[in-house]
Structures are given as structure tokens and as C-alpha cells.
Amino acid sequence: MDILGKLGINGKILLAQVVNFFLLLYVLKRFLYGPLLRILQERENKIKRGLEDAEKAQKKFEEADKKIQVKMEKANQKIDLILAKAYKESKEYKEDSEREVREKIKEMKEEAQKYIENEKRKITEEVKKKIGPLVVAVAQKIITQRISEKDRMDMIKETQREITKIKKEN
């Protein structure tokens, strides 16, 4: 102890400082570090859920796209059947009235085209109805997190541009 005294260190003060240090360490760990880690963990979980929701939306979009392709193939098969029938009829009736057969083929093609356009419109509406709420939910989750006002406005403007672009394509 005499050496500590010569160095100008008071043992009682040193002991009090060590006790204070461990007391401060305990208080910080209990009231600051623990809640901070909990908040960070909750935020990480929200981000993971948002990413999972985005993946689900992407999968549903891909499934809808596959359904569109299947329906388009079926429509093409129907067109092929209609065209084959028209060709057969045109051969059978060519001698009698070539002009009537041409008119029938034209009508059949128009009907098939209208059918395809109608199916395409229905499928597009169905896809929009199914994907729209998921996109909105994901966007709401992302927006509710801490984002600066400028970033929020940029995201809104970008979303509006995308919606306008989709409307123009349809």
C-alpha cells in the first residue's frame, strides 16, 4: 500500500472508482444495451418479413405469368383448330363459292383475335388484382420503417411513374 501512496493513488478512492465502474457497466447493460439490442432485433425481423413478402409476391407473379402462358397456348391451339377447320371447309366448298369461304375465314380469325384479346384482358386484370395488395403491403412495411422524408417522396414518385407506365402498356 505504501507504493500506491507514493504514486499518489488513494486505495479507498481507487476502490470506489472500481465499484462505480462496475455499477455504471451494470446500469448501461441493463437499461441501454439490452433494449437497444431488442430494438435492432425487431427491426431486423421486420426487414426479413418484408423480404419474405416480396419473395412471395414475386412467386405469385411468376405463377400468374405461367398461367398466362398456358392460356395463350390454349388460345393458340384453338386458333390452330379454327384455322384447320376453315382450311378443310375451303377445300370442300372451293368449287361452289370461293368468296363465301374467304369471308368465313376472316370472321373466324376476328373471333379468335377477340377471344385472345378478351382472355388477355381478363388475365391481366386478375394478375393486377392479386399482386396489387401484396405490393401495397410490402410498400407499407418498407415505408413505415425509418426513412427520410426525401427518400419517401422519391419512392412515391418512382411508384407513380411505374403505375403510369403499366397503365400505358395496357
* pLDDT tens, position by position, 52-76: 999 999 999 999 999 999 999 999 9
Contact in structure between 50 and 141 (CB atoms under 8 Å): yes
Q: Is 115 exposed, middle or buried (0-12, 13-18, 19+ CB in 10 A)?
A: middle
What's the rounded Cα separation, in Å, for the pair 157 and 119? 32
Average pLDDT over residues 135-157: 70
pLDDT of residue 44 exceeding 70: yes
Cell numbers placing 132: 396489387
Percentage of the chain beyond pLDDT 70 is 85
Q: Which of 84, 169, 75 lies closest to 113, judged by CA?
A: 75
Look up the pTM and report it: 0.33
Q: What is the model's pLDDT at position 97?
A: 77
Query: For 120, left (φ over 0), alpha (ψ -120 to 50), or beta?
Result: alpha
For residues 138 and 27, which has the higher predicted lDDT (pLDDT)? 27
